[in-house]
């Protein structure tokens, strides 16, 4: 079995099944555009700009017309020095979980083999992904009332807004984003802003 490839850059894919597929191949933060949802989500755009500046982005969309539109959109919102486009081959067929193939009849990211994905990401591998000295965890959010307690969702939204992050992130995504941006030190600074 191949070991996961560690990446320093953040990877952007279209949907959750693409993300699940890549989680078996790479060790890196993976975020979704929710298809064309990125066009209307100002908070996510700000997050992607911030991550691009700090870590760099790899955009990995499907090889169809929709994937091209998403790639071109990233070209318009992210400076090219912080942006890498990674392409999959245009293979015809349908993904196993689907009853009908895509509109154009091509396989998306989730339809690619592990070996192919591994070989595509290998040139971007690093020995060690940068990580904060002390990350936060889901338990950190729980202990501080931002998860699993009364009004925790509203408190977490306030925390995320104070961090200039999308306030609709799940607890797990919030932990990932906060750790990418500075871990516990960043988290404690945000809490101070909240009072």
Closest CA to 158 of 166, 62, 130: 166
Q: Rounded to whole angstroms, how far apart are CA atoms 173 and 30?
A: 10
pLDDT in tens, 125-154: 986 545 546 899 999 999 999 999 999 999
Q: Which residues, at least 6 apart from 43, have a Cβ–Cβ distance to it below 8 Å?
A: 165, 166, 167, 168
Q: Rounded to whole angstroms, how far apart are CA atoms 49 and 181?
A: 12
The DSSP element (H or E) to which 83 belongs, if any, is strand 83-85
Q: What is the pTM of this model?
A: 0.73
* DSSP reduced 3-state for 155: helix
Locus of tokens 């925390």: 159
Question: What mean pLDDT is reported for the chain?
Answer: 88
End-to-end CA distance of the chain: 48
pLDDT in tens, 87-135: 988 887 777 776 666 677 788 888 888 888 998 999 999 865 455 468 9
Per-residue confidence (pLDDT) for residue 166, from 0 to 100: 78
> Across residues 175-191, what is the average pLDDT?
87
Closest CA to 110 of 16, 33, 14, 17: 17
What is the CATH number that goes with domain 5-124? 3.40.1360.10
Where in the chain are all domains bearing CATH 3.40.1360.10?
Answer: 5-124
Cα 154 → chain centroid: 23
Residue 179 backbone class (left: φ over 0; alpha: ψ -120 to 50; beta: rest): alpha
């Amino acid at each position: 079995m191949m070991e996961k490839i560690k990446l320093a850059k953040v990877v952007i894919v279209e949907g959750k099944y693409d993300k699940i597929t890549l989680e078996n191949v790479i060790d890196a933060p993976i975020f979704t555009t929710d298809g064309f949802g990125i066009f209307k989500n100002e908070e996510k755009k700000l997050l992607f700009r911030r991550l691009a500046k700090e870590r760099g982005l790899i955009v990995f969309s499907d090889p169809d017309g929709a994937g091209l539109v998403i790639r071109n959109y990233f070209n318009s919102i992210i400076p090219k020095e912080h942006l890498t486009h990674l392409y999959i081959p245009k293979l015809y067929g349908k993904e196993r979980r689907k009853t009908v193939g895509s509109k154009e009849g091509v396989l998306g990211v989730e339809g690619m083999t592990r070996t192919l994905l591994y070989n595509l990401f290998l040139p971007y591998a690093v020995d060690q992904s940068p990580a904060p000295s002390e990350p936060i965890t889901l338990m950190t959010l729980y202990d501080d009332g931002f998860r699993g307690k009364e009004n925790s969702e509203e408190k977490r939204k306030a925390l995320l807004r104070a961090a200039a992050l999308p306030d609709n992130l799940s607890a797990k995504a919030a932990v990932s984003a906060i750790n990418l941006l500075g871990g516990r030190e960043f988290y404690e600074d945000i809490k101070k802003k909240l009072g």
